[in-house]
């Protein structure tokens, strides 16, 4: 069973004495927890899908990595920046995927240290399975009306803004 930490406001650091905070801290912390749970649930959904198909050779993270690789030919670093691979080592997973025949790799001609990867036909098969699962989810969510208010594009816009803010916080730390 996975246990999640409950995020609570810390007593330190203290805000300036004249700061009057909006009532956003608690919803912000709840959002962070929801995002973490959603990601874990998505991995569980992928795991269940592959168990249903009696395919036990891939982890959910590896299947998601194949889905996110798509039709592109990229380096491991580019792949890492594209997706969420919580608690995973992208280089290790890529090595395993190459060994299992899901991904092909080739050294870059310009920089021999860099390796470019792309899906093999076997990897395309996995990408199709995950894509079909996501399509079924969209159809179910659409039919239920869950994504109507607020509309999903608005939600995504808000999360992209949070993502940009967090990225800026990391860049300007030093």
Residues 55-89: pLDDT tens digits?
999 999 999 999 988 888 887 777 777 665 655 68
Alpha-carbon span 35 to 18, nearest angstrom: 32
The per-residue pLDDT for 70 is 86
Kindly report the CA angle at 122 between 120 and 126, in degrees rounded to 5? 110
Longest dimension (CA), the chain: 61
pTM beyond 0.85, yes or no: no
Alpha-carbon span 44 to 50, nearest angstrom: 10
If we measure between CA atoms, which residue out of 68, 105, 103 comes closest to residue 84? Answer: 68
- Mean pLDDT of the chain, nearest integer: 84
The per-residue pLDDT for 87 is 55
> Is residue 144's pLDDT more than 60?
yes
């Amino acid at each position: 069973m996975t246990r999640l930490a409950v995020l609570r406001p810390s007593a330190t650091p203290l805000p300036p004495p004249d700061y009057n905070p909006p009532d956003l801290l608690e919803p912000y912390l709840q959002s962070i927890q929801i995002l973490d749970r959603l990601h874990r649930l998505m991995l569980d959904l992928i795991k269940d899908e592959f168990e249903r198909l009696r395919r036990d050779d891939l982890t959910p993270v590896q299947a998601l990595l194949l889905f996110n690789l798509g039709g592109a030919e990229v380096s491991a670093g580019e792949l890492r920046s594209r997706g969420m691979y919580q608690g995973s080592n992208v280089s290790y997973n890529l090595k395993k995927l190459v060994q299992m025949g899901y991904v092909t790799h080739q050294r870059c001609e310009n920089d021999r240290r860099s390796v470019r990867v792309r899906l093999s036909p076997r990897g395309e098969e996995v990408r199709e399975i995950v894509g079909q699962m996501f399509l079924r989810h969209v159809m179910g969510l659409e039919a239920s009306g869950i994504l109507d208010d607020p509309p999903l594009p608005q939600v995504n816009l808000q999360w992209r803004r949070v993502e940009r803010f967090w990225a800026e916080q990391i860049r300007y730390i030093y």
